[in-house]
Amino acid sequence: MSTILFKPRSSSRTRYAKERVDSSQTLTLDAIRKSLMLQEDSIIFNLLLRAQYAYNANTYNDGALCIGSFHGSLVKFIAKRNRKAPCSENLPPSMLLPSQHPKVLHPCADSININEMVWNMYFTDLLPKLAKAGDDDNCGSAAVCDTVCLQALSRRIHYGKFVAEAKFQESTAEYEAAIKVQDRARLMELLTYETVEAAVKKRVEMKTRKYGQEGSITQQEGAADPIYKVEPHLVAQLYEDWIMPLTKEVEVEYLLRRLD
Ligand SMILES: O=C(O)C(=O)C[C@]1(C(=O)O)C=C[C@@H](O)C=C1
C-alpha cells in the first residue's frame, strides 16, 4: 500500500504542457453514480468475506516476517505483492488489442493518492469492529481479504476524481470561480449533495441486510430474528464517517488543481 499522501503543491502553479483533458467525451454524473453504486456491492461482499475470520492479531505483527529485503507484517507482505504486476511471463500473450480509453481526467489526477488515510482508517477504525476478536488460525486468509477490501475501498474513494471531473464539466463557471481563489470550503459546499448521501447510506444498509443474512436464501424470507454476518448499520456508518468524506476529500484536491 502506498504511503504517499497528497503531493506537496508548489507555490507556482504546476504546468501540464502536453496532456490535455479530453472534454469531448461524455462523462456524466449519472454514469459515475451508477459505477459508485456497483462498487458498493464489491465493498459489501469483501467486508462479508473478511468478517468470516477472526481478527487474528498475528497478521498485523510488524516483526513477523523477514523475507529477503522485506521486513514487516503478513498483511503488508501480501499488500506489497498484490501491488506488483501479476506474473505475466507465465501467461500466453493477450489476443485482444490494447483498449484505447479516452483520457478524461486532468493530468493532476496522478498526483492525488490518499491510500495512507484509507489504510489507517481500515486498520484502526473499521477492522476491529468488523472481525470477531481472537484467533482462528486464518492469518493468511485474513490478510488476503484485508488486501482485497483495501483495494475496493481505495478504488471507490479515488473514483472521486471522476466525480469531480463530471461536476466540473457540468458547472464549469461556478467551479472555476472557486478554484481560481483556491476556496476549499466553497468547493466542498458545491460538490456536496446531502440527499444523495442519505440515499447512499440507506441503500448500503439495505444491501448488507440482504446479502449478509445468516442462513440460506430460501430460509431467509420472513426470518423472525435475522442474524447478520456484518451489522448493516456498521456499513452505513462506514460510508458516513469515512468513505464519503474521503471521496469528497479526493474531489476537492482534484478540483483545486483542475486549472493548473
Ligand atoms: O454523487 C456525488 O455527487 C458524489 O460526489 C459522491 C458522494 C459519495 O461519496 O457517495 C460524495 C459527495 C456527495 O455529497 C454525494 C455522494
pLDDT of residue 97: 73
Structural domain includes residue 116? yes
Paired strand residues for 70:
67
pLDDT tens readout for residues 84-124:
655 556 667 777 776 666 789 999 999 999 999 999 999 99
Say how many Å lie between the CA of residue 210 and the centre of ligand 1. 23
Structural domain includes residue 5? no
Indicate the top mutation candidate among 167, 197, 238, 250 to test ligand 1's pocket, ranked by most ligand atoms within 8 A of CB. Answer: 197
pTM of structure = 0.87
Structural domain includes residue 91? no
pLDDT of residue 75: 96
Structural domain includes residue 158? yes
If you write DSSP's letter for every residue of 128-144 in order, what string do you get? Answer: HHHSBSS--S-HHHHHH
The arithmetic mean of pLDDT across residues 152-163, rounded, is 98
pLDDT tens readout for residues 41-74:
999 999 999 999 999 999 999 999 999 899 999 9
Structural domain includes residue 96? no
pLDDT tens readout for residues 230-256:
999 999 999 999 999 999 999 999 999
The protein residue with its alpha carbon nearest to ligand 1, atom 7, reads 244
Portion of the chain with pLDDT greater than 70, in percent:
82
Indicate the top mutation candidate among 28, 153, 163 to test ligand 1's pocket, ranked by most ligand atoms within 8 A of CB. Answer: 163
Q: Which atom of ligand 1 is nearest to the CA of 251?
A: 5
ipTM: 0.99
Say how many Å lie between the CA of residue 192 and the centre of ligand 1. 6
Report the first-to-last Cα separation within the chain, whole angstroms.
Answer: 28
Instruction: Report the domain count for the chain.
Output: 1
Say how many Å lie between the CA of residue 110 and the centre of ligand 1. 21
Structural domain includes residue 34? yes
Structural domain includes residue 135? yes
Residues with CB under 6 Å of ligand 1 are 33, 36, 163, 191-193, 196-197, 200, 244, 247-248
Domain assignment of residue 38, given as a range: 29-83+104-256
Minimum mean pLDDT among 23-32, 140-149, 218-227: which range? 218-227
Cα gap 173→14, rounded to integer Å: 21
Structural domain includes residue 24? no
CATH of the domain at 164: 1.10.590.10
Band of pLDDT at residue 12, cut at 50, 70 and 90? very low
Cα gap 190→178, rounded to integer Å: 9
C-alpha cell at 125: 477504525
Indicate the top mutation candidate among 175, 188, 193 to test ligand 1's pocket, ranked by most ligand atoms within 8 A of CB. Answer: 193
The arithmetic mean of pLDDT across residues 75-85, rounded, is 83
The protein residue with its alpha carbon nearest to ligand 1, atom 16, reads 197
Q: Which atom of ligand 1 is nearest to the CA of 33?
A: 1
pLDDT of residue 220: 61
Band of pLDDT at residue 221, cut at 50, 70 and 90? low
